[in-house]
C-alpha cells in the first residue's frame, strides 16, 4: 500500500521539481515530445520516466482536485453501482468512467474523479473502495 506525503520542495532533490516542470511543459503544449521537455529542463528521459508517476505538484489554492483510480471489479450486477454510491456518499464527482469487457468474471474500471469537495483523504477513499466485496483491487494512479 502506497503512502503519500506533502513535503516542502526545499528539502527534495532538484530533479523531482524538474520532472514536474517537464510534465507541465508537455501538458501546456509548450513541448510536444518528452525528449524536448526533458532537454528543456535539463534531465534525462530515464529520470523523467522513473519519477513521472510518483511526483505531483500540490497547490493549496487550487479549487479543483482530480484523482484517477484503477480497479479490478467483479462483473456481477450492481458492482459499478456500489462503487458509484460510495463515491457519491464521500462527495466525490465522477468525471469519466472507462471499463473493459469482462473476462473471467472481472473487468478493469478506471475512474477520473473530482475530489475537491471530499472531506476525506484520498488514501482513505481508496481503502473504502478496496473494502467493497465486488472490488479485487483498487489503486491510485494519479492526483492533480
Please give the C-alpha separations between residue 110 and each of 28, 49, 74, 82, 122, in angstroms, as whole numbers: 24, 21, 13, 15, 15
Residue 59 inside a domain? The answer is no
- Domain check: are 31 and 70 in the same one? no
- Do 73 and 134 fall within a single domain? yes
Compute CA distances 90 → 58, 93, 98, 129, 140, whole Å: 21, 9, 20, 11, 16
Query: Residue 144 has which C-alpha cell?
Result: 492533480
- Using DSSP's 3-state secondary structure scheme, residue 107 falls into strand
Same domain, 91 and 137: yes
Range of the domain at 91: 66-143
Half-sphere exposure of 30 (CA within 13 A, CB side): 11
| Residue 37 domain-assigned (yes or no) | yes
**Region 66-91 average pLDDT:** 95
Please state the domain count of the chain. 2
Whether 85 is covered by a domain: the verdict is yes
**pLDDT per position as a tens digit, 2-36:** 677 778 888 889 999 999 999 889 888 999 999 99
Q: Which residue has the higher pLDDT, 65 or 130?
A: 130
Mean pLDDT in residue range 63-91:
91
Check: CB of residue 140 under 8 Å from CB of residue 66: no
Assess whether 74 and 25 both reside in one domain: no
Q: 2 in a domain, yes or no?
A: no
Amino acid at each position: 500500500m502506497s503512502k503519500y506525503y506533502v513535503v516542502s520542495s526545499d528539502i527534495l532533490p532538484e530533479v523531482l521539481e524538474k520532472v514536474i516542470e517537464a510534465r507541465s511543459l508537455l501538458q501546456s503544449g509548450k513541448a510536444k515530445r518528452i525528449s524536448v521537455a526533458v532537454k528543456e529542463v535539463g534531465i534525462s528521459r530515464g529520470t523523467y520516466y522513473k519519477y513521472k508517476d510518483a511526483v505531483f505538484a500540490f497547490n493549496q489554492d487550487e479549487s479543483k482536485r482530480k484523482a484517477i483510480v484503477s480497479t479490478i471489479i467483479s462483473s456481477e450486477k450492481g458492482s459499478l453501482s456500489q462503487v458509484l454510491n460510495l463515491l457519491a456518499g464521500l462527495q466525490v464527482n465522477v468525471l469519466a468512467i472507462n471499463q473493459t469487457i469482462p473476462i473471467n468474471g472481472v473487468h478493469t474500471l478506471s475512474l477520473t474523479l473530482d475530489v475537491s469537495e471530499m472531506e476525506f483523504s484520498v488514501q482513505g477513499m481508496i481503502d473504502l473502495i478496496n473494502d467493497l466485496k465486488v472490488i479485487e483491487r483498487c489503486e491510485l494512479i494519479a492526483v492533480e
